[in-house]
């Protein structure tokens, strides 16, 4: 299903920060240009569930953990993964790649709609509202694909599942050596397929967050109300990002 990061980026590491030629796919804005600047502008987006990952530090709570200091700690340690803050009926997520934030997203309970954020509001030990804090570790290529899912505009959007053959769509993206993600939204669940160089890194749904093969998402695409969005673009290394200390 998924290749290791060492297999995926061997060419990139030998070329420094330049993306290899086969990574230069059509960008999400249709221009063929790589994304520039930092993160995508704050605003409403469709639901972006996060995959499961290795949990660091066990169960944490804002009753005794300072959220902003924790995020800065992860930045200083060049962490790759996510900090998930849940409380007060909302969830906030910072996706990190080597200590820098590549995506900020928040959602209310249910998570069918989300917002791309420019700041996090993380509680400290003195806050009255207690939140749960979870630190996840992801493979670097997974964090990069999540950043593209959150920040890139849709190349194809709201395609109805009744006329889209999802396996054929993934084969098309494989031929293009696309980078990013495909989202499948149905009335009951949301599924994500993460892609690097056209190959599937892993797929998951909100209800089944462990990374699996793309087949885990296929039943959602056959739902009568399914809609499919494609967020793909040129992969740049280092990726567009902001420092962890700047978002709290």
* Per-residue pLDDT tens digits for 70-126: 999 999 999 999 999 998 889 999 999 999 999 999 998 666 679 999 999 887 777
For the chain, the residue count is: 248
- Of all residues in the chain, the percent with pLDDT exceeding 90 is 72
Q: What is the pLDDT of residue 130?
A: 86
Task: List phi, psi (to 5°) of 142.
Answer: -70, -45
Max CA separation in the chain (angstroms): 53
Report d(CA 232, CA 145) in Å as an integer.
Answer: 9
Low-confidence residues of the chain, pLDDT below 70?
1-37, 109-112, 127
Q: What is the dihedral of CA 96, 100, 106, 109, to 10 degrees?
A: 30
Task: List phi, psi (to 5°) of 127.
Answer: -70, 145
């Amino acid at each position: 299903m998924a290749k290791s990061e060492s297999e995926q980026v061997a060419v990139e590491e030998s070329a420094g920060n330049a993306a290899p030629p086969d990574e230069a796919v059509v960008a999400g804005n249709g221009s063929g240009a790589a994304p520039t600047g930092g993160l995508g502008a704050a605003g409403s987006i469709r639901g972006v569930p996060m995959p499961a990952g290795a949990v660091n530090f066990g169960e944490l709570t804002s009753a005794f953990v300072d959220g902003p200091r924790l995020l800065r700690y992860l930045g200083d340690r060049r962490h790759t993964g996510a900090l998930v803050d849940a409380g007060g009926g909302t969830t906030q997520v910072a996706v990190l790649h080597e200590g820098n934030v590549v995506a900020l997203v928040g959602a209310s309970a249910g998570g069918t709609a989300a917002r791309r954020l420019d700041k996090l509001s993380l509680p400290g030990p003195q806050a009255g509202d207690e939140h749960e804090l979870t630190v996840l570790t992801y493979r670097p290529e997974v964090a990069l694909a999540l950043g593209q899912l959150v920040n890139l505009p849709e190349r194809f959007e709201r395609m109805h599942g009744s006329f889209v053959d999802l396996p054929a769509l993934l084969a098309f993206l494989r031929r293009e050596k696309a980078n990013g993600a495909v989202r499948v939204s149905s009335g009951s669940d949301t599924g994500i397929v993460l892609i690097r160089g056209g190959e599937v890194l892993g797929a998951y749904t909100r209800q089944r967050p462990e990374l699996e093969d793309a087949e885990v998402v296929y039943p959602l695409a056959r739902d009568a109300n399914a809609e499919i969005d494609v967020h793909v673009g040129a992969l740049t290394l280092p990726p567009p990002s902001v420092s962890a200390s700047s978002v709290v």
